[in-house]
Structure 1
Amino acid sequence: MQITAQTVKELRERTGAGMMECKKALTENAGDIDTAAEWLRKQGLAKADKKASRVAAEGRIAMAQHAGKAVLVEINSETDFVAKDDNFVAFCSAVAQAALKSDAGDIEALKAVRLGNGESVEEARAAVIAKVGENVQVRRLARSDSAHTVAAYVHGARIGVLVELKGGSEELARGIAMHVAAMNPPYNKASDVPAAFVAKEKEIELAKMAEKDKSKPAAILEKIISGKIAKIVNENTLYGQPYVLNTEQTVEAALKAAG
């Protein structure tokens, strides 16, 4: 039967597949648009399976937030070019919104969640692979569901932060999230810093001072080293770092000021 340009156009608009793929789908299915759309969907799943072993190391982090809930979802592509593709970006945004509305606590649960168009996340992923021609993987999910103040923040497309505060405001939570994105503190506060880390830093400082300050009394050396270690600990803790939105105070001081 004859496949008209209008029919091909209609199938393209419905599925997002290429013109030649749509024409082939219609030819294979006697011009029936519904059957052709289902055929393309199955082809997409087959392509997804074939591309599953290819490394997907680029991509983006998408966020969604409402009231006391916030989520971050990492979705990977093979290239940075596809990470900026409109189809990929829209998929990431839709998955984040679906994750927020669901109770999914891990990636396997998230794959079964339905998007606004009725497709599951896994079905939509296969469709995106068919469109962009690369392996796409939903890699990580982080969420916070609480009665406390939460904030999700994404810097660029590759750094995502979730913050939960007991008290404070959403503005402060977002500010702290921005700070974490910028400074990446490995520890929350001084009491979280491992003793082994402190001991190693002390050993390094002692070695540095062994020759230069060997004439100073032991008590003075100990005081100097204690000051240096305290500075190093502050540099490696969220509470001890100068707050990026107001470097005149530490993050701890900003939190205390906000109650």
Structure 2
Amino acid sequence: MSVLVCLAVILFILMKFVGGEKGTRSFIALFLNFGVTFATMLLMGSKNNPIIITLIACTVISCINLFYINNVSIKSIAAFISTMITLVLLVSVIFILVEMSMIQGFGIEEIEELNSFTLYIGIDFAKVAVCTIIMGTIGAITDTAISISSAMNEISIHNPLIDRFGLFKSGMNVGRDILGTTTNTLYFAFIGGYLALILWFKDLSYSLGEVVNSKVFSSEIISIFCIGTGAILIIPITAWLTAYILSKDQNITPKNKLTSE
């Protein structure tokens, strides 16, 4: 426990030193997001509709990450709307993928550990699989959305004569740079989190085909593809919406924009 406290203190000091007030808010937001996630799991365990609960939780998490950390501003509003649009588009795609791939439930590798437990708990595992992917997506798309909208807002401030198309093009260029690092982040997060699983597959003498077709491996790969799809979709949506909002409000001068932040 003392190690966790020390690490938390170090993290807070670094975030405060580097990020200032926003760093402090980001640190507090970690605990707020944990509280929302924990409450979501409790509500899902109470046999409520997990999809609706997850979507509400994702909306609250987006508000915390965008409005609490960055305050209510043009860039945070544009990022929030873009996040909601992308989330709605993804939900239908995730439903179809989970239904076709049948990744819900547990894999054969986990059966031995679950033999002493009953699986009749009154929860639809297909919906749980959808909720898992949605929760994994929300962090990536909010991060990408605020990065693009914030950069476009700065461009608009320092170049108020830029037109809507030029602003949109700048946002797309920023998004393309972010996309490369996001996909690599997803890949290494998977490898780091499931390195022990890969070693276990090796000890079980699984062939490459058995590894690829195992439910545990397939569910994570599909999650990465869904999160990556969300990270791609959020780029043009945020770029267009932010360009539309910034160019529409022609009466806001650079000075007023700075004070509104």
Pick the structure with more strand per residue. 1
| Higher Rg of the two aligned structures | 1
Output the TM-score relative to the length of structure 1: 0.21
Pick the structure with more helix per residue. 2
